[in-house]
Amino acid sequence: MKKNKLLLSAITLLIFILSSCGGGTDNNSNNNENREENPKIETEENKTTTENTVDDKIKYIKEKFSEIEKNISNYEKKDALFSGTVGEEGQEYYVHTEWLAFYNGDKITKLVESTGEEGYWAEISYYYDNGKLFFIFHELEFDGYPIEESRIYIYDGKIIDALTKSVDEMSEESLSDVKNQKYDEVLTGELKDMYLNWEKNAMEGFLENVDK
């Protein structure tokens, strides 16, 4: 196994996170309201809904998310772990990465990848319907305190909506008091393919290390 390939997801994730914490969003936006029904599934308030609109697709995503979380205790669990150094000589990083997968029969329904370095701990949950990725929930903590959350909505392999919120790691503001806003860098900008690539690398890392 090539270490660099194995941990591409973890390293890329941490590099991006460590370089962007606290500086990527305006937390005063009132465009997106938190919803209480599913704390991990949040979207903007919509005024009208017609067939095959983004609203309908997000409604479907919310329903599938709720179904998985409701039945999570009934699914088979498989875990994997990697701890070690990666990188070229003189630029090595120590990385600890964990994966936890949930299976309904032979179909994966959820994959959680967790990795940390120097006080930061990142966790990304990937959700699947019949093997197809439909939702990503990304959490970041610093010294045990949540400082960032992102929600990525996917339909037919394409990102249809993305929300994010964050606080500076030195701030006393609670992340739960911050409202979500559009994650434009993921929707149309330079980070458009980032989360989908992370999922591919996370799945590769899990499959290469499971049952070892």
In a domain? residue 205: yes
- Centroid of chain to Cα 186: 12
Among 19-33, 54-68, 164-178, the minimum mean pLDDT is found in 19-33
In a domain? residue 111: yes
> Rounded distance, CA 18 to CA 185, Å?
17
| Number of neighbours of residue 166 by Cβ within 10 angstroms | 22
pLDDT computed for residue 160 by the predictor: 96
Average confidence (pLDDT) over 66-94? 89
In a domain? residue 35: no
pLDDT band at residue 40 under the 50/70/90 scheme: low
Range of the domain at 190: 3-26+82-209
Which 8-state DSSP code applies to residue 178?
S
**Which amino acid would we find at residue 102?**
F
Q: Is the pLDDT of residue 47 over 70?
A: no
The whole-chain average pLDDT of the chain stands at 80
pLDDT computed for residue 129 by the predictor: 96
pLDDT computed for residue 19 by the predictor: 38
Yes or no: say if 92 and 11 are a contact pair by the CB < 8 Å rule.
no
> Tokens 């967790």 — which residue?
114
In the chain, the percentage of residues whose pLDDT exceeds 90 is 54
pLDDT computed for residue 25 by the predictor: 40
Q: How many domains does the chain have?
A: 1
In a domain? residue 195: yes
pLDDT, tens only, 129-159: 999 999 999 999 988 889 999 999 999 999 9
pLDDT computed for residue 139 by the predictor: 96
Query: What residues contact 70, with CB distance under 8 A and at least 6 apart?
Result: none
In the chain, the percentage of residues whose pLDDT exceeds 70 is 75
pLDDT band at residue 12 under the 50/70/90 scheme: very low
pLDDT computed for residue 42 by the predictor: 52
In a domain? residue 106: yes
Model confidence, pTM: 0.75
In a domain? residue 21: yes
107-117/93-104 β-pairing: antiparallel
In a domain? residue 48: no
pLDDT computed for residue 120 by the predictor: 86
In a domain? residue 56: no
Of these ranges, 11-20, 87-96, 161-170, the one predicted with the greatest mean pLDDT is 161-170
Yes or no: say if 194 and 13 are a contact pair by the CB < 8 Å rule.
no
